[in-house]
Amino acid sequence: MDEHLIKPYGDKLNDGIVQLSFTLPVENSPKAVKAAQMYVSKLNFQNISVVHAKKIAQGFTYFVVYAQAIPALDLRLVKPKQIENKHLDFYEINKLIKNSLKRCLTVVGASIGTDAHTVGIDAIMNMKGYNQDYGLERYPEINAYNLGSQVTSEKLLKEAIDKKADAILVSQTVTQNNMHIHNLTELIELIEAENLKDQYILIVGGPQITNELAIEMGYDAGFGPDTLPSEVASYIMHKLQKNKDMT
Amino acid sequence: MAQIQLNTKQIDNLKQQACLISKQLHNFIDNYSTVSVERSVLRLFGVDGINRDKIPLANRLVDIIQQKSCIKSGISRYFTAAMLQSNKNARITAELIEQGKIKFGTLNGFSHEKIKNKETELTNKAIKILDTSRKNKRKKQKKFPKPSYPLRYMIVATGNIYEDRLQASSAVMAGADIIAVIRSTAQSLLDYIPYGPTTEGFGGTYATQENFKIMRKALDEASENAKRYISLVNYASGLCMPEIAVCAVFEDLDMLLNDSMYGILFRDINMKRTFVDQYFSRLICSRAKIIINTGEDNYLTTSDAIENAYTVTASQLINEALGKKALLTDDLLGLGHAFEINPEIKNAFLFELAHAQLAKQLFPKAVLKYMPPTKYKSTDIFYSHCMDALYNLASVLTGQKIHLAGILSEASHTPLMFERYQSLSNINYVFNIAKDLGNEIEFKNNGIIQKRAKQVLDEAEVFLSDILKTGLMEAIADGKFANIKRPVNGGKGLDGVFLKSPDYSNPILERLEKEGIVDG
């Protein structure tokens, strides 16, 4: 196979092995197992083995399946929209704000919509931070306002205007039926309607967020799970400087 | 069960301090009522339904009385007078009032004695509703073998009550003993209870009396199939605490989330409102034998589980003291705590055991509610599944009573049906293979676990004496719990709190207080 073509790796290069688990609305029976196998084959897998089948409700069966993926992907075609700036640490960031901005950096953050989880926004903003990396509240050069959860888009924007924010951080942690897309779209539409899109660096974070998705929706950047506060702060400073260079 | 050596004098002192804090607070509580307390009285008198604009009649009636500035006397007498006037049942009377066909907010010229007699008749009926629900549940439970602890508590949260039924029956098949229907997010901030069956919610399903009925019926069937009693849980904390308790009584619910401080800290509900509401809500729970669940686990999602472990202990003690004041017995106290220590900390599991064992020894007869890891759950679901296994072990080892199922996908989405099955398989496995482990081991004297438990107890003691100095309200305003500051007169729902006038009447509250703990 061409060296640029890749497939999932089980224990040999290009074996294509993946692990799947799912439920079918079928009573557990030989027919259900066969249905699981045929369904996975429709997904373009081969050498399918249904290793586990268990009734988990009246008329529903849960499966664990191993199978080999058929298609290969040309890695040359993969061009992610990565955040390319340098990752600075706490001290470097504070120094940079002091020297280049010559005032405090203001950041307003919230979890919007009905999501009650503050884990994401707290990890980035609270004093304590995440994984031994201080949160934005701890930065002497940053005014960080964490509005918590279940904040409306209107309130978040109003707060950003009142506090003269440089950046708005939006978190979406636990979502259902793609509610996060709905919420994030609502916020961006509101900001656009107020003609304020260029006023702020708009950042979104959450376990289901990729940078690509964020950019597609009109945000400046998106951060996924395990993001450190200093990564977010580095990005804000990078972007602010880039914007300044352009004007 | 293995025991940590603890100073019993210190424990007595802690309980006494909590009692004093609760007494202090009751100097305030006993003089006030709220719109939700008054609406609960109406509901227990038989007011139900909504008007054309879908506003519950209980809300409409209380609004009318509030506008006429006579709410200070309580709604009971005015409604009683209206019933005497209409000579119809409570529901029709309420409709007539709302349509403006009956004068409301006066005693309509009826004698004091006539009103008193009718009030007593309505109160007798209301108390009978509470007693009937208790007896119904006892009767149903007796049909099945005694439950085996820890009880397996599983959430359903599709937003659609009919879909929730399927999820619930699947969870029961996988071993769940308790089904909790997660409420639609932010329902705690609604100052009314939505009406009828609902099929759309966000992150959960609306708590309505009709939804309670639909789920209780499904669980009655599931109990028959599984040959064990399946309990139903919902959430009272919020602006409608006592009213949700009333709806729960009507539909024979078994448990309610009912914390004395959760709404204040995590939903920014005014503290006066919450403290008054929780008292009446808990009196209702006590009489109908609804187990309350408290929300101490939430402290550890916002602040560190090691540094702030003592706030959990202190809050449990306060919730216990306030609960006892509201006539809740140990078997109804589902005091909360959680397995939330950062897994990167060396010996974190030992500290978890210390915390869980401490709760067990402080409240040996309570039905402790133990919460799974959430804060450090990884989006690597396989790693998270391992965390849950260790949590399950800590729970069975320390003899917890209500065990909330940890779910491997906690960090990314509300659980899918097969993830509930995976979670319960994990629990069943650990509970079975380690069933009597707690009886076989001892905690080493002066070991890591014992030292940790003692430290938490010492910190809780200092904390409680601090609270006692300022009073609980000031302590909360100061940000002593969960690092969140809530001003005494801030937050939502303060406009629904009022000072009782000397002629205030709430005959249900009076009766419940007077008759004390009632069982059987």
Secondary structure percentages of chain B, helix, strand, coil, to 5: 55, 10, 35
CA distance B405 to B176: 9
The helix or strand, by DSSP H or E, that contains position A202, with its residue range, turns out to be strand A201-205
pLDDT of residue A82: 76
Q: How many CB pairs under 8 A join A and B?
A: 71
Of B186, B301, B344, the CB nearest to A150: B186
Are B384 and B483 a contacting pair, CB within 8 Å? no
Q: Please list every residue in chain B whose beta carbon sits closer than 8 Å to the beta carbon of residue A113.
A: 202
Q: Does the beta carbon of B433 lie under 8 angstroms from any beta carbon of chain A? A: no
CB atoms within 10 A of CB B27: 9
CB neighbours of A36 closer than 8 A, spacing ≥ 6?
A22, A24, A50, A53, A61, A63, A65
ipTM above 0.85, yes or no: no
CA distance B197 to B56: 14
Q: Which residue has the tokens 């800290």?
A: B265
Are A110 and A126 a contacting pair, CB within 8 Å? no
CB contact under 8 A, A174 and B203: yes
pLDDT of residue B268: 86
Q: Does the beta carbon of B231 lie under 8 angstroms from any beta carbon of chain A? A: no
- DSSP-derived secondary structure for B119-179: HHHHHHHHHHHHHHHHHHHHHHHHTSPPP-SSEEEEEE--S-HHHHHHHHHHHHHTT-SEE
Active site residues of B: 262, 297, 369
CA dihedral B300, B303, B304, B308 (to 10 degrees): -80
pLDDT of residue B446: 95
Q: Does the beta carbon of B237 lie under 8 angstroms from any beta carbon of chain A? A: no
Are B62 and B192 a contacting pair, CB within 8 Å? no
CA distance B500 to A210: 55
Regions in chain B scoring below 50 on pLDDT: none
Q: Which residue of B has its CA nearest to A24?
A: B418
**Closest Cα in chain A, distance from residue B171 (Å):** 8
**Closest Cα in chain A, distance from residue B173 (Å):** 7
The strand order across the sheet containing B402-404 reads B333-334, B291-293, B255-257, B231-235, B178-181, B151-156, B402-404, B369-371, B336-338
**Closest Cα in chain B, distance from residue A197 (Å):** 28
CB contact under 8 A, B170 and A175: no
pLDDT of residue B177: 98
E-strand spans in A25-165?
Answer: 45-57, 60-69, 73-74, 105-111, 142-146
Q: Please list every residue in chain A whose beta carbon sits closer than 8 Å to the beta carbon of residue B166.
A: 57
- DSSP-derived secondary structure for B257-325: E--SSHHHHHH-B-HHHHHHHHHHHHHHHHHHTPEEE--GGGHHHHS-TTTTHHHHHHHHHHHHHHHHH
Q: Please list every residue in chain B whose beta carbon sits closer than 8 Å to the beta carbon of residue A116.
A: 185-186, 203
Are B40 and B246 a contacting pair, CB within 8 Å? yes
Q: Does the beta carbon of A155 lie under 8 angstroms from any beta carbon of chain B? A: no
CB contact under 8 A, A23 and B417: yes
Q: DSSP letter at B500?
A: P
CB contact under 8 A, A60 and B379: no
Q: Which two tokens stand for residue A56?
A: 């988990």
pLDDT of residue B503: 95
pLDDT of residue A1: 67
Q: Which residue of B has its CA nearest to A183?
A: B202
pLDDT of residue B108: 87
Q: What angle do CA B32, B248, B481 make, to 5 degrees?
A: 55
CB neighbours of B280 closer than 8 A, spacing ≥ 6?
B37, B40, B241, B242, B509
pTM score of the predicted model: 0.86
Q: Look at residues B333, B455, B314, B296 and name the one whose alpha carbon lies nearest to residue B21.
A: B314
Q: Please list every residue in chain A whose beta carbon sits closer than 8 Å to the beta carbon of residue B300.
A: none
CB contact under 8 A, B173 and A207: no
Q: Which residue of B has its CA nearest to A53?
A: B418
Q: Look at residues B79, B61, B73, B39 and name the one whose alpha carbon lies nearest to residue B239.
A: B39
Q: Please list every residue in chain A whose beta carbon sits closer than 8 Å to the beta carbon of residue B378.
A: 225
Amino acid, single-letter form, for residue B132: T
- Per-residue confidence in pLDDT tens, chain A, 247 aa: 688 999 999 999 999 999 999 999 999 999 999 999 999 999 999 999 999 999 999 999 999 999 999 999 999 999 887 777 889 999 999 999 999 988 999 999 999 987 667 778 888 998 777 877 888 988 999 999 999 888 899 999 999 999 999 999 999 886 666 788 888 999 999 999 999 989 999 999 998 899 999 999 999 999 998 899 999 999 999 999 888 876 6
Active site residues of A: 128
CB contact under 8 A, A174 and B413: yes
- B257, burial (CB in 10 Å: exposed 0-12, middle 13-18, buried 19+): buried
CB contact under 8 A, A119 and B413: no
Q: Does the beta carbon of A115 lie under 8 angstroms from any beta carbon of chain B? A: yes
